[in-house]
Every structure is written in structure tokens, then in C-alpha cells.
Amino acid sequence: MIQPSAPDQKTPPVPPSEPLEGSSKLWQQVRENLQIVVIALVLAFLLRTFVVEPRYIPSDSMVPTLEVGDRLVIDKISYLLHPPQSGDIVVFYPPDAPELKALALKKDNAFIKRVIGLPGQQVQIKQGRVYINNQPLPESYLAEAIHYELPSFVVPAGQIFVLGDNRNYSNDSHVWGFLPVQNIIGRAFLRFFPFDRLGKISHS
């Protein structure tokens, strides 16, 4: 006797696989974080290259205004808008002078000094003081009176004359001559360390 066949048993359809929601969100978050990091690095690079730059004071040539170990912020924008001014404290790459070659300076070595003489000005150092166009320059920031003298000269076009505030212990224009304006990196405007001396740098 033939038994009636059992009804066909069909395999239930397999539902389409669903995305792993947790994994997708994690990857999205990682990607967003990477984008933020990349943007931050690019902004930091642009800021350091074109706007501001931190610098460290390694010597006592600017005492008492700046001390060894001071950390400064250098403004790199001002001199795109106007030329250096008398009294400005500037950071610069040293010029190609014979007096500096013996120091074997690296390309990224930088000096910091105060602008004393501008293009076209007559400068003289005598009797412990600087004279600009035959007038004594008020300098309340000096560590002590100047122990050397320089005969009268005129600062050439495109150059400036810079000196350290610690005049008698500074490797500056009185040693190696004029500084080309294009060597200037920027203007010191803020001390951010040590914290007890935090504040704007005085240029007078």
C-alpha cells in the first residue's frame, strides 16, 4: 500500500545579513578622529610657518630683559605689514659674516637682539651710550653702560643695526656688522614661561 507522501518541507529563507552596527560606528569615529588630528597638524604647521613660533632663550645676551631659559612666542606677521621699528626685539638668522663662521652655526640657529639703528640712520657709540642722528638713545633696559665705542656710521638700505641688552657680553652688530632685514624671522611679543614672568615683551 502506498502511503501518501508527506508534504514538501521547504527550507525557510535566510534573512539578509545585517551590517555590524557597532563596528561601523567605531570605524566612523576613528575616521573622524583621524581627520581632526590631520587638520590640527596642518593648522599647527601653518601657524608655526607663517603666524607664530615658540622660541627658547639659550644665552644671557638679552639680560635683564630676557633671561636664560625664557620661552617666547614670536610674531611672524607684523613685518609683513610694516618694517622693523627702533626698539623691537627681533629673532633672526645670523648673517653670513666672517666673525660668525668660526661658530659653525647650523642653518636653524637663530639670534635674538634689539633693533637699534634703522636704514638711513646715523649711529655712534661713545662714552657708554648709543647716539642716533647725534641724539642720545634712551635705554632704561640696559644691564650696564657700554664698555666699547664705535665711530659714526650710517645704516645701509635694507639693513638694520642690532645689539643685545647685555651690551658687553653680546655677539651682535658691533661684532659682525649689519643685519639684512630679510634675515628676520619675527618679533618677540610674549613670554609664556616661566609662569611668574608671563606677559607681553616690552620693546622700550
List, by residue number, the catalytic residues: 61, 113
Cα Rg of the chain (Å, integer) = 32
User: Phi and psi (nearest 5°) for 157?
Assistant: -60, 140
Answer whether 113's CB lies under 8 Å from 84's CB.
no
Answer whether 131's CB lies under 8 Å from 125's CB.
yes
What number of residues does the chain have? Answer: 204
Written as one letter, the residue type at 99 is E
Q: Beta-strand (E) ranges in the chain?
A: 52-56, 71-75, 89-92, 111-117, 122-126, 129-132, 135-136, 150-154, 159-163, 179-180, 184-193, 199-200
DSSP tag of 183: G
Three-state SS string across 66-95, please? CCCCCEEEEECCHHHHCCCCCCCEEEECCC
